[in-house]
Amino acid sequence: MVTDTIIEDMESLIEKFQRVRETTLDLVRELRAEDTTAQSMPDVSPTKWHLAHVTWFFERFVLEPCGVPRLDDEYHYLFNSYYNSVGEMHPRPQRGLITRPTLDEVRDYRAHVDEQMLRLLDAGDIDDATLDVLVLGLNHEQQHQELILTDIKHVLSLNPQQPAARTDLHMPAGKAPPAYDFMAGASGIVQIGHDGDGFCFDNETPRHDALLHAHDIGNRLVTNGEFREFIRSGAYDDPLLWLSDGWATIRAQGWNRPLYWDGALETEFTLGGRREIDQHAPVTHVSYYEADAFARWAGARLPTEFEWEHAAADESCSGNLLAAHTWQPVATNGGRQFIGDVWEWTSSAYAPYPGFRPLAGSLGEYNGKFMCNQMTVRGGSCVTADDHIRKSYRSFFYPDARWQFLGFRLARDRHD
């Protein structure tokens, strides 16, 4: 089972389905049709493709097993992502070449599938297995809501005009955060993983014992101002601070600052356009390599994902998330920032938990096959849906990834 789905009645399920689907469209309401087709790098998918793919997911994994025929067989090829077990797919790096169907036709596709889904839900004759896939599909769409925003940010940043994706974002004035400090972390055997209450992805299971060594963990995220000091110290030119792959990457790519910062280290591109860097806000759009080098420069290290999860256990599962409508990390108001603002790099490789079992069938391709050569991130970001994040949530990226809202906090070993 993907979830111990807590749905009070079919009416609440229908409401959530409609809300998630409407939210996706609202995120892109200020984009032009031309914006939605562009693909700026292989990791970025066009907005139009995202809108179609999440729709394809419901059509392929919910409607088809219930006997509802596909709208268009070509869509099955164009909008499959990586489910090799269900058929061939258009190459990911070439999604920007899918100029047809048009954006209007994709919207019509969404409307058609929504109509079929609501008809199925209104009938109320849905078994538990189908409900599980439906709830997975809603969470899958919320993941793509985040990708829609991070991907279009990269696309628009490369436009010489650097237009805003949204003109109505709320950006609170930055306030100086508390001094960086370390909190004592636990040591010994602790429980890690989803506790069985509500939805989770399969990679959050099973709940299991993990051994923590004596350590301390940062009281907040590292800020832009602190990262600027790292840059100005000459850190990008010091090979002693970098992992071998990290040094090779920054030299090959010419990196000397976070993605979207200007060369003067004064402004950054945001979803609201180019703005002055808030020195008090968490630094973001940095790779694992840059986070690791900063930690070494600061005489610290990155936390493991198990240290992070245990430290966050008693924290509120709220923060600067999608509904705050900043779509940009903001300075802490005194909180510890475990949830929202930026996905936090950990030092843990993305690997299966002891006893992990992927979902049965094609949906087993969702997470398990990516458990190699990637690093685990935790905590959600400023564009993660508020009801989508939880403290056991594990996401993952390659260590050179920067286009997501990726930041970090520090940790250090404690020698009692």
> ω before 329 within 30° of 0 (cis)?
no
Report the alpha-carbon distance of residue 16 to residue 1 in Å, rounded: 20
Q: What Cα–Cα distance (Å) separates residue 297 from each residue in 24, 96, 303, 344?
A: 40, 40, 15, 18
| CATH superfamily name and code, 182-413 | paralog of FGE (formylglycine-generating enzyme) (3.90.1580.10)
- Per-residue model confidence (pLDDT) at position 133: 95
- Per-residue model confidence (pLDDT) at position 367: 85
Report the alpha-carbon distance of residue 358 to residue 364 in Å, rounded: 5
* pLDDT tens, position by position, 6-62: 445 778 999 999 999 999 999 999 999 999 999 999 999 999 999 999 999 999 999
pLDDT band of 197, cuts 50, 70, 90: confident
Predicted confidence (pLDDT) at residue 380 exceeds the cutoff of 60: yes
Residue ranges of domains in the chain: 10-157, 182-413
Tokens, residue 230: 């790292």
Q: What Cα–Cα distance (Å) separates residue 398 from each residue in 239, 289, 375, 401, 402?
A: 21, 10, 6, 6, 9
**Over the range 113-135, which residues count as b (16 or more CB within 10 Å of their CB) and which as e?**
bbebbeebbeeeebeeebbbbbb
CB 28 within 8 Å of CB 38: no
Across residues 115-143, what is the average pLDDT? 94
Report the alpha-carbon distance of residue 90 to residue 99 in Å, rounded: 13
* pLDDT tens, position by position, 277-301: 999 999 999 999 999 999 999 999 9
- Per-residue model confidence (pLDDT) at position 172: 84
CB 55 within 8 Å of CB 125: no
Report the alpha-carbon distance of residue 61 to residue 228 in Å, rounded: 47
Predicted confidence (pLDDT) at residue 1 exceeds the cutoff of 80: no
Predicted confidence (pLDDT) at residue 328 exceeds the cutoff of 80: yes
Tokens, residue 388: 């989508």
Across residues 108-127, what is the average pLDDT? 94
The whole model's pTM is what? 0.96
Report the alpha-carbon distance of residue 402 to residue 290 in Å, rounded: 10
- Per-residue model confidence (pLDDT) at position 362: 86
Report the alpha-carbon distance of residue 289 to residue 230 in Å, rounded: 14
Backbone angles phi, psi at 10, to 5 degrees: -65, -30
Predicted confidence (pLDDT) at residue 245 exceeds the cutoff of 80: yes
Fold of 10-157: Four Helix Bundle (Hemerythrin (Met), subunit A) (1.20.120)
Q: Which residues, 6 or more positions from 100, have their beta carbon under 8 angstroms from its beta carbon?
A: none
- The average confidence (pLDDT) of the chain is 95
Across residues 232-243, what is the average pLDDT? 98
Predicted confidence (pLDDT) at residue 2 exceeds the cutoff of 80: no
Predicted confidence (pLDDT) at residue 168 exceeds the cutoff of 90: yes
Number of H helices, E strands in the chain: 9, 11
- Per-residue model confidence (pLDDT) at position 8: 52
- Per-residue model confidence (pLDDT) at position 258: 99
Q: Lowest mean pLDDT: which of 226-235, 239-248, 356-365?
A: 356-365
Across residues 57-77, what is the average pLDDT? 97
* pLDDT tens, position by position, 94-105: 999 999 999 999
Across residues 266-272, what is the average pLDDT? 98
pLDDT band of 238, cuts 50, 70, 90: very high
Report the alpha-carbon distance of residue 81 to residue 64 in Å, rounded: 17
Tokens, residue 196: 């069985």
- Per-residue model confidence (pLDDT) at position 79: 98
